[in-house]
Chains A and B, each alone.
Chain A
Amino acid sequence: MIKNETQTMIELKNVSKRFGNHQVLKAINLTVKPGEIIGLIGENGAGKSTIINLLLGLLQASSGEVSVLGEAPAQESHKQKLGAMLQENVSMESIKVRELLTLVRSYYAKPLPYQDLLELADLTSVQAMISDKLSGGQKRRLTFALAMAGDPDLLFLDEPTVGMDVNSRQHFWSKIEQMRAQGKTIVVTNHYLDELEGIVSRLLILQHGVFSFDGTLAELQQQYAKRTITFESTLPLVKVYEYLPDANLKEKNHQFSLKTSDSDQALRQLAPILTQLSNITIQPDSLNAIFGNLTKQTVSHTQGDVQDD
């Protein structure tokens, strides 16, 4: 249990990381409080895993200050409270799932009960199998169980559901949901933003070595989401266009659709002809679409910079 609620779980101060000439992280700052569920999002190679590896002490920062539970990374004193599911799966040659779980549970002072661990990662049916003979999805689940063996307060999950089938994914996220309710602090990286909806309390988007967004999902939607308005009307396209001169308006078989970042304003503009419209719907962008737009934006932005030079 975390006694001090104001304690900081993770702190990064001006942390930079270079691999040779390649600058992956540029003076990033981050403070994570107990109970936060952080979704760390970015394209391949953005540096998500680098951040996790820095926090675990598997990599050293080029400059800046990294602290975990108020200490430098990889201190024996806090490893009891830490769990990590890294990108690559963990198994052991010639050793059964049951044996490996028993071994790793013995590393911790207060491990999760063995049966709980099996249920948590849905491993009951494969516990007698040799761990390195498991399928990719099963190994992923085993890796999750190993990360959870010590009942950690702070959990790192690096692309946890890669290789899992749909059922396993659902099972997995429902377990994360439970952990959130228990007040665990979790940092999770993922490719699919949609999976994180309803799970994370805070979203960080890593682009070009810095956090281009830091806030809640609702804030992200408010800031970046476009909405799609659709309606039916017998009016000709040019007529509707008169009311929405700057909208990206499309029409096919009297079905109109338009994308806008301000749906309220668009509706106000349509007010005079509202009686001639029917079946009006307003649909917000999916998180994946927002993420797609966001990355495209910065790409075109950087290209613009290059042209300016």
Chain B
Amino acid sequence: MTSFLTQMTINIKRLILRNLGFSFFAVGMPIGFYLLFTRVMVGQMNAQAAQHWYLVYLGSMSIYSILISSIFTVSNTLIDDRKQRMDQFIAVTPFSKKRYYSSIILTMILLNALALLALDIVAMLVNQVSLSLGQIAASIAMTSIASLPIMILGILTSMVKTTSTASALANLIVFPMAIVSGLWLPLSSLPKFMQTIGKLLPTYHANQMITRIFQNKSNVGMPNIYNILAWSVLLVVVIIFLTNSRKRSQV
């Protein structure tokens, strides 16, 4: 147990406190986008429509923040550990790979919560968005679950053979995924085929769920939960398959 706590402390230091990339990409960028788009888009809106847009876009940017950190921070951390031989070293110590990955996922949940909190505070201060403590807590709890398949995708990205390809792949996943799942602009403004793809992605479903929480709607949205669970299972299966086939090919 102490080893897990120590691992968490170290992860908090390297992933949050000493990670400029986190402050910039996971906190700064979504806040910047939020401020920019809520300024640009509300020009001709009446007060009620504007208030609605402030909430909807807060949901989108929350999920965008989760997407960025869950893919970039997870894959970069794992890639660094691979480059610096930490992963190989851990494999020969009693600290299991399972605990290593879960400590990173737990740290990421904390990191995501901090990024969302910062975004919520900006929304409340700048756009006078009203959110109850219950809504903030529920949205953070919900996104913690919704971030799981995205983090697993981040782990999968880091498994690419060369580390530079892995970084490039992370970029290739994050930005198209953000656009297609309607995080930057409403999904309805995209071509039909993109909308079809978008509606399959976990980020689209996470966005639907967080919007409902922000709008105080009481229905849970089981299809959204099923989608997120299905992606998590599918991606774990892919990781297991890849790991096993690599072990086999090496004999």
Instruction: Indicate, yes or no, whether A interacts with B.
Output: yes
Identify which of B7-15, B145-153, B233-241 touches chain A: B7-15
Whether A94 contacts B92 by the Cβ 8 Å rule is: no
Identify B89's interface contact among A80, A86, A95, CB under 8 A.
A86
Interface size on B, residues (CB 8 A): 26
Residue-wise, chain A 124-157 has the 8 Å CB interface mask toward B (1 for contact) of 0000000010000000000000100010000000
Identify A90's interface contact among B6, B85, B251, CB under 8 A.
B85
Counting CB contacts under 8 A, is A194 at the interface? no
Given A95-B10, A103-B7, the answer on whether A58 and B88 have CB atoms closer than 8 Å is yes
Counting CB contacts under 8 A, is A62 at the interface? yes
Whether B251 contacts A106 by the Cβ 8 Å rule is: no
Identify B85's interface contact among A60, A74, A89, A102, CB under 8 A.
A89
Residue-wise, chain B 80-105 has the 8 Å CB interface mask toward A (1 for contact) of 11001110110111111000000000
Identify A56's interface contact among B3, B10, B92, CB under 8 A.
B92
Given A76-B94, A150-B93, the answer on whether A94 and B14 have CB atoms closer than 8 Å is yes
Cα A74 to Cα B186 in complex, Å, equals: 51
Residue-wise, chain A 26-60 has the 8 Å CB interface mask toward B (1 for contact) of 00000000000000000000000000000011111
Whether B86 contacts A76 by the Cβ 8 Å rule is: no
Cα A108 to Cα B93 in complex, Å, equals: 8
Whether A90 contacts B92 by the Cβ 8 Å rule is: no
Cα A99 to Cα B7 in complex, Å, equals: 10
Cα A84 to Cα B94 in complex, Å, equals: 12
Counting CB contacts under 8 A, is A88 at the interface? yes
Counting CB contacts under 8 A, is B48 at the interface? no
Counting CB contacts under 8 A, is B52 at the interface? no
Counting CB contacts under 8 A, is A169 at the interface? no
Cα A150 to Cα B84 in complex, Å, equals: 20
Identify B6's interface contact among A60, A82, A102, CB under 8 A.
A102
List chain A residues, Cβ under 8 A from B77: 93
Counting CB contacts under 8 A, is B46 at the interface? no
Query: Interface on chain A toward B: helix, strand, loop, or mixed SS?
Result: loop
Identify A82's interface contact among B19, B86, B92, B96, CB under 8 A.
B92
Counting CB contacts under 8 A, is B218 at the interface? no
Identify B10's interface contact among A59, A89, A99, A146, CB under 8 A.
A99
Interface residue range, chain A: 20 to 34
Residue-wise, chain B 1-35 has the 8 Å CB interface mask toward A (1 for contact) of 01100110010011000110000000000000000
Given A56-B92, A79-B92, A92-B81, the answer on whether A106 and B2 have CB atoms closer than 8 Å is yes
Cα A109 to Cα B95 in complex, Å, equals: 11
Cα A103 to Cα B82 in complex, Å, equals: 17
Chain A positions within 8 Å of B, measured between CB atoms, are 56-62, 74, 76, 79-80, 82, 84, 86, 88-95, 99-100, 102-104, 106-109, 132, 146, 150
Chain B positions within 8 Å of A, measured between CB atoms, are 2-3, 6-7, 10, 13-14, 18-19, 77, 80-81, 84-86, 88-89, 91-96, 247, 250-251
Known A88-B85, A94-B19, A150-B93; 4 more pairs at CB < 8 Å: A57-B91, A92-B81, A93-B14, A102-B6
Q: What are 28 A-B residue pairs whose CB atoms fall within 8 Å in the complex?
A: A57-B91, A58-B88, A60-B250, A60-B251, A79-B92, A84-B92, A86-B85, A86-B89, A89-B84, A90-B85, A90-B86, A90-B88, A91-B85, A93-B14, A93-B80, A94-B18, A94-B19, A95-B14, A99-B10, A100-B10, A103-B7, A103-B10, A106-B6, A107-B94, A108-B93, A108-B94, A132-B84, A150-B94
